[in-house]
Amino acid sequence: MANTSRYIIWAHRDAESLFGPATNPVIRNGALLFFGDEIRARVECDRLNTHSGSPHVHYSVQHARGRAPALSVTRTA
């Protein structure tokens, strides 16, 4: 079995945020935002940090070994 590296983008909200502190993986189009290449992940993370628009939110990259976990997102109207 091949060793697959994945890099997941995480959003971090600090305690001064209106909704309080939190850390969650970034979801885009109903799936985790991840990359198979650390450089591409860091470029996207830098882009998100540049355009976040909030001093209370920042993004980071974390290495995840193996498959990215499945994540189901339920949207309400």
Q: What is the pLDDT of residues 22-49, one digit of tens each?
A: 999 999 999 999 999 999 999 999 999 9
Per-residue model confidence (pLDDT) at position 54: 87
Dist CA 37 CA 74 (whole Å)? 28
User: pLDDT above 90 covers what percent of the chain?
Assistant: 64
Task: Indicate if the pLDDT at residue 72 is higher than 80.
Answer: no
Q: Is 24 helix (H, G, I), strand (E, B) or coil?
A: strand
The residues spanned by each domain of the chain are 5-65
Q: How many CB atoms lie within 10 A of CB 14?
A: 13
Task: Indicate if the pLDDT at residue 67 is higher than 90.
Answer: no
Mean per-residue pLDDT of the chain: 84
Per-residue model confidence (pLDDT) at position 5: 85
- Model confidence at 73, in pLDDT bands (50, 70, 90)? very low
